Amino acid sequence: MDFKIAVLAGDGIGPEISKQGVDVMSAVCAKFGHKVSYKEAICGAAAIDAVGDPFPEDTFQACMEADAVLFSAVGDPKFDNDPTAKVRPEQGLLAMRKKLGLFANIRPVETFDCLIHKSPLREDLVRGADFICIRELTGGMYFGEKYQDNDKAYDTNYYTRGEIERILKVGFEYARRRGRHLTVVDKANVLASSRLWRQVAQEMESSYPDVRTDYMYVDNAAMRMIQEPTFFDVMVTENTFGDILTDEGSCITGSMGLLPSASTGEHTPVFEPIHGSWPQAKGLNIANPLAQILSVAMLFEYFDCKEEGALIRKAVKASLDANVRTPEIQVEGGAKYGTKEVGAWIVDYINRA
């Protein structure tokens, strides 16, 4: 198989972890006989500095011409600390999602036995937790009509039946491939938009008789994720709720540096770590590359290259078991490994497999 990959390294630690992801992808392609080509493109603060646009047209075209996008992170303190800034790196991320029609964000939450002690939750609660959060990505308050003056402000949580149906279909299909359990998260006791979500989901249930479907208010879901994370198999929800719940889910594993994600929809899919650009660590060779590397595993799996994805996951698990880890998850007294060294170890594992 031939792969054309657009590489958007972005800001902060983005270029450092991006290189590890590219190196792992190249190693896997070489082992399995795939051809791969890369086209680098700018986004975020780097693009604002270069051309004044966080998601310039050339970058959009590179994404559209690719089979997949390997994205890293955007963000820079000089924009975070300037509330008057009209153009921000994060606007590039929203523009990418909108222009590529990326309506489904898929975030797996999976624990590693050797890192359970890093979770803020008790071991007996998190052991065996393995679920997927599916977040609607291009609707709701983030994209609805907005207004603000000195005395009032509003954000419109706008959804259409078509937008709800297409993301629920993703949720049902993922549940069908996993544990056949789907939890629809809403706030139907208060919000009209949530009542439409629940109505549409109930109408679709009969098309998926092999999937057990339940419904949960978002506040209850947030509590249940902490009390009993093993309850969930696949969770689907709207944009704002999903943004909050997926970050909460990331804490279950003990490190945001371990979790990848995929965003799929109408055009080119995007694969990325869930963490941010961590500008304070830029150039220090301490950023954890595993979420970026696991994003490559998700990329292969999206194209039904299951063996390739499985090998990457096996290599990541082996690196953790061998205590080849960046500082934030290293065991006390363990050897020191940086971003480059962890990436190189995993590439070597793949080459020798």
Active-site residue 187, yes or no?
Answer: yes
Q: What is the pLDDT of residue 250?
A: 80
pLDDT tens digits, 115-170:
888 888 888 898 989 999 999 999 999 889 999 989 999 999 999 999 999 999 99
Question: Model-level pTM?
Answer: 0.89
Q: What is the pLDDT of residue 344?
A: 98
Q: 244, 173, 265: which is closest to 210 by C-alpha? A: 173
Q: What is the pLDDT of residue 251?
A: 81
Active-site residue 214, yes or no?
Answer: no
Is residue 181 helix, strand or coil?
Answer: strand
Percent of the chain whose pLDDT exceeds 70 = 99
| One CATH from 3.40.30.10, 3.40.50.300, 3.40.50.150, 3.40.718.10 for 111-256 | 3.40.718.10
Q: Would you place residue 113 in the very low, low, confident or very high pLDDT band (cuts 50, 70, 90)? A: confident
Q: Cα–Cα distance between 99 and 108 in angstroms, integer?
A: 24
In the set 99, 142, 186, 208, the catalytic residue is 142
Active-site residue 113, yes or no?
Answer: no
Q: Where in the chain is the domain with CATH 3.40.718.10?
A: 1-100+268-353, 111-256
Residues 182-186 have a mean pLDDT of: 98
Residues 326-352 have a mean pLDDT of: 94
Active-site residue 321, yes or no?
Answer: no
Q: Cα–Cα distance between 98 and 96 in angstroms, integer?
A: 5
In the set 49, 130, 155, 247, the catalytic residue is 247
Active-site residue 76, yes or no?
Answer: no
pLDDT tens digits, 262-283:
999 999 999 999 888 999 999 9
Indicate the pairing of strand 146-148 with strand 130-136. unpaired
Q: Cα–Cα distance between 42 and 58 in angstroms, integer?
A: 9
Q: Cα–Cα distance between 113 and 168 in angstroms, integer?
A: 31
Percent of the chain whose pLDDT exceeds 90 = 79
In the set 219, 306, 321, 348, the catalytic residue is 219
In the set 67, 130, 155, 243, the catalytic residue is 243
Q: What is the pLDDT of residue 331?
A: 86
- Fold classification of 1-100+268-353 is Isopropylmalate Dehydrogenase (3.40.718)
